[in-house]
């Protein structure tokens, strides 16, 4: 599921749900940095992808007893454009749930606070 900003159409929010092997918890998948690096490898090692990502930060917080990782990336596109992504990741009922916010790097300073608040407040039940 992807939602796009009406004015800045390249700015978007997505929620991705995927299976977790053997019903592992988020911490069993690794530390925030380890999970962030694993996401990077998926992007950077994909032969069908023409983008390169760099992990800028990886943090952990808890909300209602559930652990969330917040991962910040800089993504370089082949047309020399850069994007800034902020993702909140958790495991719920055997599914990896990723809430991702993405904006052109040139807009990052304008939306940083809003994106950080959104990522920190993202919750699954």
The CATH number of whichever domain residue 78 belongs to comes to 3.40.1000.10
Q: How many domains does the chain have?
A: 1
Q: Which tens digit of pLDDT belongs to each residue from 29-71?
A: 999 999 999 988 888 888 888 889 999 999 999 998 999 999 9
Q: Which tens digit of pLDDT belongs to each residue from 95-118?
A: 999 999 999 999 999 999 999 999
The predicted pLDDT at position 10 comes to 77
pTM of this prediction exceeds 0.85 = yes
* Helical (H) or strand (E) element with 26: helix 26-29
Q: Which residue has the tokens 């962030």?
A: 36
The predicted pLDDT at position 26 comes to 96
The predicted pLDDT at position 50 comes to 84
Q: Which tens digit of pLDDT belongs to each residue from 75-89?
A: 999 888 999 999 999
Residue 102 to residues 4, 70, 71, 75, Cα–Cα distance (Å): 10, 13, 12, 9
Handedness of CA 6, 8, 9, 15 (dihedral sign): negative
The predicted pLDDT at position 78 comes to 86
The predicted pLDDT at position 51 comes to 86
- Its domain, for residue 101, covers 2-121
């Amino acid at each position: 599921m992807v939602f796009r900003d009406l004015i800045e159409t390249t700015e978007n929010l997505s929620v991705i749900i995927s299976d977790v092997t053997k019903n592992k918890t988020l911490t069993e998948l690794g530390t925030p940095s380890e999970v962030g690096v694993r996401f990077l490898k998926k992007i950077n090692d994909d032969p069908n992808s023409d983008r390169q990502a760099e992990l800028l930060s990886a943090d952990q917080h808890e909300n209602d007893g559930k652990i969330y990782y917040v991962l910040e990336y800089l993504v370089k596109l082949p047309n020399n454009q850069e994007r800034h992504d902020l993702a909140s990741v958790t495991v719920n009922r055997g599914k990896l749930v990723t809430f991702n916010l993405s904006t052109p790097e040139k807009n990052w300073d304008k939306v940083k606070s809003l994106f950080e608040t959104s990522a920190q407040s993202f919750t699954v039940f």
